Amino acid sequence: MIVQSFIKGFHQPGVLFDVMLHFGTLVAVLFFFRKEVYDILKALLPGSLRGSGSDDLISARRKMALLIVVGTGITGVTGFLFEQDIHNLFTSVDVVAAMLIITGLLLYLSDRKGGGDKKDKNLGFVDAVIIGMAQACALIPGISRSGATITFGIFRGLTGETAARFSFLLSIPAIIGAAVFESRYFGSATTDEMRVYVIGMIVAAVTGFFTLKLLFFIVKRRKLSIFAYYCWIVGISTLLMRTI
């Protein structure tokens, strides 16, 4: 949004362009977590189609699927109820800048707390609800979806890697839902605009994959404050430029 504000004449129907960029990162997430996604989907199949596998492992994967549904449901209901309000926020660069500063604060505080010792098998219903609420808050532009969900996972005592993995698995149905919801605007975009949107989606997919590798490298070393400084610099600089 900040970059878009400097592009003269930029417009988009709804938030179609933003959602298509997110869809690009979804492709990266699906490729990066292809084994986890495959295992979860396989666990949901009937026994005759699922093949071999321990009952405990199948149960754990089904539980993960349920927790993803819970977190996604909270985000979906929030997005549906406040759709127009959220769209209106996408016209304010000042809101984005301010929310970036808040995102930076969350990331900084998560580093101060440090990761807990809860792993995938310890994830519970309350964890899914709270992380789902954090994802719902990220519908506000400038609140990082991954940043908010990872930090609240850490606040709940998850290890950094567990929080990051659940965060991105949670993003899959959320982004698919947003893409379906915004697809009604496809007819409002011109052929030239759609060509640009698709290019943006492809670039987002490629950069998203390498960013995921970088993120997990940083999460393992509990250095999320690196992103906090970035958010603060961009947020404060944008607010200062808006006042000049």
Reported pTM: 0.84
Buried b (16+ CB within 10 A) or exposed e, 14-30: bbbbbbbbbbbbbbbbb
Tell me the C-alpha distance between 178 and 75, whole Å: 10
Q: Name the percent of the chain lying above pLDDT 70.
A: 97
Average pLDDT of span 100-117: 87
Task: Average the pLDDT over 22-42 and give the result.
Answer: 92
What pLDDT is stored for residue 168 in this prediction? 93
Domain boundaries, the chain: 2-243
Which pLDDT score is estimated for 115? 62
Per-residue model confidence as pLDDT tens digits over 171-197:
999 888 878 877 777 777 788 888 888
Residue 40: is its pLDDT beyond 70? Answer: yes
C-alpha distances in angstroms, 166 versus 42, 63, 200, 231?
Answer: 18, 12, 26, 22
CA distance 163 to 160: 5
pLDDT by residue (tens digit) across 65-76? 999 999 999 988
| Position 53 pLDDT exceeds 80 | no
DSSP assigned state of 1: -
Centre a 10 Å sphere on the Cβ of residue 87 and count the other Cβ atoms it contains: 12
Using DSSP, state whether 27 is helix, strand or coil. Answer: helix
* Residues across the chain: 244
Please report the pLDDT score of residue 223 as a whole number: 84
- Measured distance CA(200)–CA(243) in Å, rounded: 30
pLDDT band at 8 (very low <50, low <70, confident <90, very high): confident
41-45, 177-181, 211-215, range with the lowest pLDDT: 177-181
- Listed residue (28, 4, 74) closest to 202, CA to CA: 28
- Average pLDDT of the chain is 87
Q: Residue 202 pLDDT more than 80? A: yes
pLDDT (tens digit per residue) in 119-166: 888 899 999 999 999 999 998 989 999 999 999 999 999 998 999 999
For the residues 206-213, what does the mean pLDDT come to? 92
Alpha-carbon gap, residue 225 to 230, rounded angstroms = 9
Q: What's the confidence (pLDDT) of residue 208?
A: 92
Please state, in angstroms and rounded to a whole number, the distance separating the CA atoms of residues 85 and 87.
5
Q: Are 10 and 180 in contact (CB under 8 A)?
A: no
- Structure-block tokens of residue 131: 């992380």
